[in-house]
Amino acid sequence: MHGPYIVHITVATCSAIMLLLIGMCDSLRGALKKTALYDFHVEHGAKMVPFAGWSMPVQYKDGILKEHRQCREHAAIFDVSHMLQSKMYGKDRVKFIESLTVADVEGFAENTGGLSLLMNDTGGIIDDLIINKTDQDYLYIVSNAGCADKDQAHVLERLKEFQAKGHDVTFEPILDMALVAIQGQAVAKVLQKGVDFDLSHLKFMNTTVSKVFGIDCRVTRCGYTGEDGVEISVPMNEAVSLVTKLLNSKVGSVQLAGLGARDSLRLEAGLCLYGNDIDDSTTPVEANLSWTIAKRRRKLADFPGASKVLTQLKEKPERRRVGLVSSGAPARHGATILDDAGATVGEVTSGCPSPVLKKNIMMGYVPLKLSKVGNKVSVKVRNKTVPAEVVKMPFVPTNYYTPK
């Protein structure tokens, strides 16, 4: 059988197993944290799992496949309050954040932002994060929940050194705001009546402060699905009210979605999951994230790990992250990638069946000579060798909002 039922089971299995494995260590560390929407999730039939130290919804009653399609075809709401939101203040805040990342924050226009990388001194990626340069007196930053502790420790250590040199900057985690993402083609239709500005003027990676259904929020046009969407930073005590109003929209189909669908959506979009596809031993060049390294920063060579990263840009890395497609049994994180002689050449970092393509999609690292689109490799799945092909990413075209 090759019908939707089988795809549903495999998508759910791949995403849920991966998330449950990530969460096992979290549950052993102690009590899980709960977002402001925890009770709301339970009331709406969510299956809760441990993830990055939090109890999070992996799926709701309709299942991962339907949630995935809901996002691709209409609009879906994700609770992403486990992410670390923070602010940086002080006249030297831009200089400080640039001392940690590859971004040209100085060159950002007000109320714009972008994806950047928090780097270590050997060229590895400590975390990926979104940096926003607001028209107020702070930078607004969102980074991964699983990296929250190490990110803060790294930032605070460097902050102490920076302040000791007489620089003016402070770091402030945001502890009283939830974060809700609404993603999909219908987002603008659903949200427009609830905000006090014209959404058509809010471009991809732009941010603004606005009332959303009467609630004071920060709205940023971004997301992790490949679709148009926004992330809304909302006071914790207003989070349930906001989500309820979004779900009650009469101008578009809106439903809740969990981490399972979020994972399959981001993989179709070719987006990295920190800890799987990138980590502190991976360079931006190896990860195919060289585009995050701003031109000015390359010229100045003043970001952490610049020597190694710029050498790789010039001379090419030994390995590179690629997209792969296959048929048959799906390969998951950790599966071995083989060359045509049967030798191990890499490892799958993320993988699941694509609900849109009806094929198995994967990301992984292979030697540079095998990274060209069209190259044939194999993947070992349950002791069987499955043919695979290197393809261009994203697997599914993205629909980020850009005004005509």
The tokens describing 254, both together, are 């809106």
Q: What does DSSP assign to residue 105?
A: G
Quote the CA–CA distance of 3 and 23 in Å, as a whole number. 31
Assess contact for 343 and 298: CB atoms under 8 A.
no
Assess contact for 83 and 222: CB atoms under 8 A.
no
Query: In three state form, how does the secondary structure of 337-354 look?
Result: EECCCCCEEEEEEEEEEC
Q: What is the dihedral of CA 39, 42, 48, 50, to 10 degrees?
A: 10
Q: Which residues are annotated as a binding site?
A: 231
Secondary element (H or E) of residue 319: strand 319-326
Residue keyed to tokens 């702070």 = 138
Query: In three state form, how does the secondary structure of 193-241 look?
Result: CCECCCHHHCCCCEEEEEEECCEEEEEECCCCCCCCEEEEEEEHHHHHH
Q: Which residues are annotated as a binding site for substrate?
A: 231
Quote the CA–CA distance of 173 and 95 in Å, as a whole number. 19
* 126: number of Cβ within 10 Å: 23
Assess contact for 346 and 365: CB atoms under 8 A.
yes
